[in-house]
A and B are shown apart, each in its own frame.
Chain A
Amino acid sequence: MSRHHLDARRLLCPMPVIRTQDRIATLAVGDILEVHATDPGAINDIGAWCRINGHKVLQAQNDDGEILMILEVGQS
């Protein structure tokens, strides 16, 4: 299991989702991906994308516009 970071700040949806999707495609099951974003839609969109594609959202927070999502790569 390894930990990775993705900077999706300043990108508007669906770009943060696309970047997350493309990054996760290169990771192994159980890996952790920390996504930083600023589009408030990212929490919903990345969350929905994870649900339908079998990944886990471990943490999702919006700190005054700075969004952090911690994802665990699932079996997809």
Chain B
Amino acid sequence: MTTPRKALALISGGLDSLLAARVIQEQGIHVEGVNFFTGFCVEGHTHAIRKKDQAKPKRNNALWVAEQLGIKLHIVDIVEEYKDVVLNPTHGYGANLNPCLDCKIFMVHKAQEWIDKHGFDFIITGEVIGQRPMSQRKDTMPVVADQSGAGDRLLRPLCAQNLPQTMPEREGWVDRERLYGFSGRSRKPQMALAKQYGFEDYATPAGGCCFLTDENYSHKLGDLWQARGERRYELDDIMLLKVGRHLRPRPYFKMIISREEGEARFLEGYRKQFRHMRTVSHIGPMALIDASRFDQEDAQIAASLLARFSQGRDAPSVEVEYIDELGVAHGFTVPPMSPAQIPKEWYL
């Protein structure tokens, strides 16, 4: 008996990659999965942070998918290398700061490196022609294959019948007749196939697989770059953009204000890296202050703003403790700002 051919499936955690992998498994191919962690993935984080979400059962969808399929999953941290994709996308951005086409090319390229190293034969993705306006179009499919270096070792089982033959088909490793020809934005064919395979309870992310497709998130990221005068980020920066209310009262300082206890606890973890504030006289949020400079007057503004989000919002004054960049504590007694005093533009 010959050893089975091996395929590496890009597993996002959504239905399409689940189905694509199963279609190939059904043809007797040994499949393993890879999931790339970019730092922008929607998975887990916000749920893990917010206390009210902690009671809900949580799962990492990519791991869940792998378990449904009975395959190994390799999770690869690409945070550092991915920065260049986000900062300098050759093919530009989608509706927000999502560089989907460059992202696909990069991930398939990483998958190609992985299969070379581990002796796998080909790569599969759950892409469907026309499913997403930027990265999953008939004209972008060959771009991903060519520019990633995967060429005809990249097979998209769900829409393969609409695309030229790939190596696994040509070599007879997989039967083209038993692949699919899905196209367009409709999810019905995928849902029907899921039913046929008996998959239930799969994740149906709106928008996309990452925060970069989110308008508000992209706005906050753009603001960060503008305030710093340069386009760069660290993992902590992009994590913090997912947490709390972000307000920028001055071009040179921004506040990240917790909305509930779980977020406050999360922000506390950053106390050593940031100036920060807490209300003392009343129960209230925790705030980090991200500033290039910050004087007493700024501290007064920040304290009043913070007081607005505390239980002392209707009190004549609220005591706030401010810890400066040297770790020195300062006390302030300030009147809370009224909602009318907070310009809309401060909210990011």
Contacts and interface: CB of A to CB of B under 8 A. Distances in A.
Contacts, number: 68
Interface residues of A, dominant DSSP: helix
Interface residues of B, dominant DSSP: mixed
Q: Looking at chain A, what size class is its interface with the partner chain?
A: 10 to 19
Q: Looking at chain B, what size class is its interface with the partner chain?
A: 20 to 34
A21 B66 CA distance: 15
Contacts of A17: 60, 63, 75
Contacts of B44: 12-14, 39, 41, 45
Contacts of B45: 12-13
Contacts of B67: 48, 51-52
A45 B59 CA distance: 7
A59 interface: no
B73 A13 contact: no
A41 B71 contact: no
A21 B74 contact: yes
Contacts of B73: 49, 52-53
A53 B72 contact: yes
A53 B109 CA distance: 24
Contacts of B74: 21
Contacts of A44: 57-60
Interface stretch (B47-55, B121-129, B180-188): B47-55
Interface of B: 35, 37, 41, 43-45, 47-49, 54, 57-60, 62-64, 66-67, 70-77, 239, 269
Interface of A: 10, 12-15, 17-18, 21, 39-41, 44-45, 48-49, 51-53, 76
